[in-house]
Each structure stands twice: as C-alpha cells, then as structure tokens.
Amino acid sequence: MGHRIDQTSPASQYSGYGVIEDVDRVTDLVLRAMSRTPNARLREIMKSFVRHLHAFAREVQLAEAEYDVAIDFLNRIGKATNDAHNEGILFADAVGFSTLVCLLNNGAHSAPQTAAALLGPFWRDNAPLTPDGASIVRSPTPGPALFVTGHIRDPQDRPIPAVDVDIWHSSPVGLYENQDPNQAEMNLRGRLHTGEDGVFHFRSVKPAGYPVPTNGPVGELLRGQFREPYRPAHLHVMGYKPSYKTLITQVFVPDDPFIEKDVVFGVTRKLIGDYRRHDDGEPPSPDVTPPWYTLDYTFVLEPGEAKRPVPPIK
Ligand SMILES: [Fe+2]
C-alpha cells in the first residue's frame, strides 16, 4: 500500500530521549523521538510537520478549549466522510491546501503545459464510455446545450490520440448526480477517447456554479468566516494515457459571478474557458433551441508518469 506508512521496521532498544523539563523542550524531544525513522521521506515530512505544528500553537498561544475544538473538528471530518462524500478533501480545498499542492506539483516546466487544478471531492471512477460527439446528459437536466471540442496535444503541439478523457460536472441545479436522487446514475459524467487528431467532442449542458456541501464541519468553518460556499461554474477534465503525466484540471465559465471568489481557490487564469454563446444560426443539433454554447479548449499533456488518482468517492 503505497500511501500507507511503512511499519515494517520494528522499534528495537530505545536509549531514551529524555523527560520534559519545560515547555521549551517539548519540540526537541518529539523530534528526537522521531529521528530514527528509517524512511527518509517520512522522517523529513514528520520533522517539518511537528516543527510547524508546535510553532503554530506557540504563535497563537492555543488555549485548551481551542485545542478541544480542533480535535473535535478533525474527528468530525472523518465521521462526515463516507462512500459518497469526502469531507477531508473539502477541508483541504477550502483552506487552499489542495490548490497549493497541485500548483507545487504541476507546471514546473512552465509554458506549454495546461495548468492543473484540484481533483475535488466528486470524481467517480468508471464513468460510462461515451462515443465521440455523444451526450453525457443521461436524465432530464435544465440549462442551455453545450457542445465541447477538446484538443489534447503534446508540448511540441502534436495531437495525442487514444487519450482516456474523463469529464464530470454538476447539474445546473447545483448538485452532482451522486448528491441528487433526481439525476440518473452517472448523469453529466463520461469517458471519451481522443481520435487520431487528438480531438474529442461531447454534448452536455452549460455548467452552473454550485455550493460545496455545508452540512458538515467545513460548512461551520465557512459560516464562522463569513465566506460564501460557492464555486464558479466549471467542467472537470482528466486526461490519461500511459507515458504522459495525467492531467487533472477544470475549465471555468468566465461570466460566473464567483469567478474571483471560488470557495476552494481553483481558478487560475489559464483555466478560464471561452464558452461562446450562440443566439442564431444553425444549431449543432436539430433539437437545440437558442441560446446554446460552444467551448473549444486545448489541453497539453507532458510526457511523464500516468497515474489515475484514488477516487475520493465510490
Ligand atoms: Fe466541481
């Protein structure tokens, strides 16, 4: 289990790391206790984590009652998490931690690569394979029709065929299908493949913004901070192909009122898409009435390791 802590090295004879003489000694003593960690990366991470955690408590002079609130908050994040909801990711998102980690790990080679964005808590694996050009609307869904053309190219601007593309977005009622009994299973979710030209097409409805779930501890925090829980409208896109770094991103709708106040800090400049409104002319499909929208967006995949993320929900 790659993401679990390796526990294969048993602690043997401790020489002891001392008793605590006063508050100033606590941190050193903890660091010493952890200094034998054989896994160098675990040692480095925990050393830094403890140093910053202790420094944080010192800086704010954390009261015992506040400590109790914090532990209770942490425990409730766990309890609020289930197969259909991931409160832990929502918390990381709401404090900008997901975006920070995402940006630290993507875009280091700068220019041509498409900016990555946080995965969010709503990706489901095994979305239905959708023929090129088909609709991902699987039950009656409000909102104007949207026709998406996506191009997937390498940093040399060559098309990449046979990329596995996952698409998911919320319904304009503000809920993902797994949150909403009125939507069909896998509504507004699909998996497509790029053709030889590196292009994929699908039909959906124009996404609308939505509030993140606020009935758990993260909602309490947002209310306590006078923060609105809304995300600007976006499409989630994941591009996966062996030998390319998996691209996880979102394409935002520019005229959304929350474009500059995303509760989870996902909006980067490059990820604002050109969603074009059409009021006249021949609609792309006979059942479409104006207005409809089109989106044309180019994603750049870098050579690298292809890795599908762990689904945050089932
Ligand atoms: Fe989303």
The alpha carbon of 45 and the centre of ligand 1 are apart by a number of angstroms equal to 30
The alpha carbon of 236 and the centre of ligand 1 are apart by a number of angstroms equal to 6
The alpha carbon of 137 and the centre of ligand 1 are apart by a number of angstroms equal to 16
Looking at residues 105-117, what average pLDDT do you find? 65
Contact 232, 209 (CB under 8 A): yes
Instruction: Give residue-wise pLDDT tens across range 55-68.
Output: 999 999 999 999 99
Helices (H), 190-295: 217-224
189-193 sheet: strands from edge to edge:
189-193, 164-168, 234-240, 247-252
The alpha carbon of 94 and the centre of ligand 1 are apart by a number of angstroms equal to 13
Contact 300, 114 (CB under 8 A): yes
Looking at residues 278-289, what average pLDDT do you find? 92
- Point out which residues pair with 150 in neighbouring strands: 200, 297
The alpha carbon of 132 and the centre of ligand 1 are apart by a number of angstroms equal to 23
Specify the pLDDT at position 313: 83
Pairing verdict, β 199-205 and 145-153: antiparallel
Q: Give 15's pLDDT tier (boundaries 50, 70, 90).
A: low
H or E element: which one contains 27? helix 26-33
Looking at residues 165-176, what average pLDDT do you find? 95
The alpha carbon of 24 and the centre of ligand 1 are apart by a number of angstroms equal to 45
CB-based burial label for 52 (10 Å; 0-12, 13-18, 19+) = exposed
Q: Give 104's pLDDT tier (boundaries 50, 70, 90).
A: confident
The alpha carbon of 23 and the centre of ligand 1 are apart by a number of angstroms equal to 44
The protein residues having their C-beta less than 5 angstroms from ligand 1 (an ion) are 120
The alpha carbon of 33 and the centre of ligand 1 are apart by a number of angstroms equal to 42
Task: Write phi, then psi, for 234 (nearest 5 degrees).
Answer: -160, 155
Pairing verdict, β 292-300 and 145-153: parallel
The alpha carbon of 66 and the centre of ligand 1 are apart by a number of angstroms equal to 32
Instruction: Give residue-wise pLDDT tens across range 186-212.
Output: 999 999 999 999 999 999 999 999 999
Quick check: helix, strand or coil at residue 92? helix
Average pLDDT score, the chain: 91
The alpha carbon of 232 and the centre of ligand 1 are apart by a number of angstroms equal to 9
Contact 303, 80 (CB under 8 A): no
The alpha carbon of 211 and the centre of ligand 1 are apart by a number of angstroms equal to 10
Q: Give 116's pLDDT tier (boundaries 50, 70, 90).
A: confident
The alpha carbon of 59 and the centre of ligand 1 are apart by a number of angstroms equal to 35
The alpha carbon of 158 and the centre of ligand 1 are apart by a number of angstroms equal to 29
Q: Give 4's pLDDT tier (boundaries 50, 70, 90).
A: low
The alpha carbon of 217 and the centre of ligand 1 are apart by a number of angstroms equal to 19
Quick check: helix, strand or coil at residue 168? strand
From residue 128, how far is each of 151, 160, 283, 291 by CA, in Å? 20, 21, 26, 28
Amino acid identity, position 295:
L
Cα(232)–Cα(31) distance, rounded to whole angstroms?
Answer: 43
Judged against a pLDDT cut of 90, whether residue 1 lies above it is answered with no
Tokens of 92: 């990381």
The alpha carbon of 283 and the centre of ligand 1 are apart by a number of angstroms equal to 28
The alpha carbon of 277 and the centre of ligand 1 are apart by a number of angstroms equal to 22
Contact 256, 232 (CB under 8 A): yes
Contacts of 268 (CB under 8 A, 6+ apart): 103, 115, 117
The alpha carbon of 163 and the centre of ligand 1 are apart by a number of angstroms equal to 22
The alpha carbon of 105 and the centre of ligand 1 are apart by a number of angstroms equal to 20
